[in-house]
Structures are given as C-alpha cells and as structure tokens.
Chains A and B, each alone.
Chain A
Amino acid sequence: AQKITQTQPGMFVQEKEAVTLDCTYDTSDQSYGLFWYKQPSSGEMIFLIYQGSYDEQNATEGRYSLNFQKARKSANLVISASQLGDSAMYFCAMREDSNYQLIWGAGTKLIIKP
C-alpha cells in the first residue's frame, strides 16, 4: 500500500493565486515527521517545510504553510500568492520513528501561468 499519496500529478495555476498541493499518508506510528520538498527543472531538491506529528499548530515558512489534519492523515502544502518561480515538482515525504528512510510521494508538477 502507498504510504504517501499525492493525487495531483500536475496542476496549472494562475500567477498570484494561492495553490494547495494534496498529500495523504498512511502510518501506524504515533511519532513521525512530514516534509515538503521543491525540485525545479534544474534538479536541486529544496527543503520547504516540516510538520511533526505532535505539533498542534500548522507549520508556516514565509509563503508556505502546511495544512495538517492528523485525523484525516493529510498534510497539504499551501503556497500563497504564487509566483512564476514556484513552477517545479513538489514532493511530500514522511519519516516514521520506526524507519530511518524518508518515504516519498510520487510528486506533483506545478506550473504557474503568467
């Protein structure tokens, strides 16, 4: 079974609009961490934001926020006021306490239209 599911293979969004990228996860661990990474076409993998399973507040980092709904096992990334430079592949990943590996979703390709 997929542990990280990103249901949107691709998205087109108008510049300056907000965008939500979906991520659902599956784990039986009580303790885990959720990460979002951005990968532009140039290839580098950029860490964006982290949410811990025990964190009560949603994480925020500048224009990025994480809409964490623990009961629904979802950790959606919200980008406010999108910019052309936000066009990239976005990966959701999870690190369980019981497993040293990062478990990756398949990614969502986001394209921002001018």
Chain B
Amino acid sequence: DAMVIQNPRYQVTQFGKPVTLSCSQTLNHNVMYWYQQKSSQAPKLLFHYYDKDFNNEADTPDNFQSRRPNTSFCFLDIRSPGLGDAAMYLCATSRSQGRNQPQHFGDGTRLSIL
C-alpha cells in the first residue's frame, strides 16, 4: 500500500506552460519535502514544510512554488518551466526533523518539457 503517492507518474508540458505536480501521504507525517533529481545525480532539496511552516531553499528558482493546503497534500507549481527543469521530482515525508527520522519517498514524477 503506497504511503506517499505522487501524481502523475509522468508529466509532459510545453516550454513556459505552468504545471502542477501533486503529492499525498497517508502517514500523517508533519514534514513534507520536494526534491528535484536530474539524471545520475543525488536529489536536491527545493523546499519543505514543517506543518504549515514553509521553508524555501536559497537556490530554489523563483518560478518554483509550493502549497500545502492540509497535512495530507502538497503541491509543486512550476510557473514557467524551462528546458532545464526537466527532471524527476520526488516528494518525501518524515514524522519530524529529528536526525533519526528517515524520509519516505513517493515514486516520483518524471517531468519532460517540449
């Protein structure tokens, strides 16, 4: 039973056309994360929420935004995708930000830009 669910699994959009990726969780975890992962690289943290507190990484591009309307759902909005935004986007959750808390990931959304 999937506990962190990402939709869609594959997303194709046009250059400059806004796109939204979604993530939901059944773990009731407090923290939700969005990562970008390019081919053969480690994931790169874009933002995270601790409950409703939003934390944006300093080098996250301005055209990336996020929403967390409730505990279960989190969205990644890319306002004007460029070719460089083609990547795998991973959503993760953790119970807290304690150092012993693993992050649990969804299956990812692979984003392509035409």
Contact = CB atoms under 8 A, between A and B. Distances in A.
Q: Are A and B bound to each other? A: yes
Contact of B42 (A43, A52, A91): A91
Interface stretch (B20-28, B62-70, B75-83, B105-113): B105-113
Contacts of A37: 105
Interface string B7-50: 00000000000000000000000000000000011110100100
Chain B contact-residue range equals 20 to 34
Contacts of B106: 44
Interface residues of A, number: 24
A97 B101 CA distance: 11
B92 interface: yes
Interface in A93-113: 95-97, 100-102, 104-107
Contact of B43 (A32, A42, A95, A104): A104
Given A91-B42, A101-B45, A45 B99 contact: no
Contacts of A50: 100, 102
A25 interface: no
A35 interface: yes
A95 to B, nearest CB: 5
B90 interface: yes
Nearest to A51: B100
B95 interface: no
A45 B92 contact: yes
A46 B42 contact: no
A31 interface: yes
Contacts of A104: 42-43
B42 A105 contact: yes
**Which has the most chain B C-beta neighbours within 10 Å: A31, A43, A47?**
A43
A45 B42 contact: no
B99 A47 contact: no
Contact of B110 (A35, A43, A52): A43
Contacts of B110: 43
B99 A97 contact: yes
B97 interface: yes
A43 B99 contact: no
A96 B104 contact: no
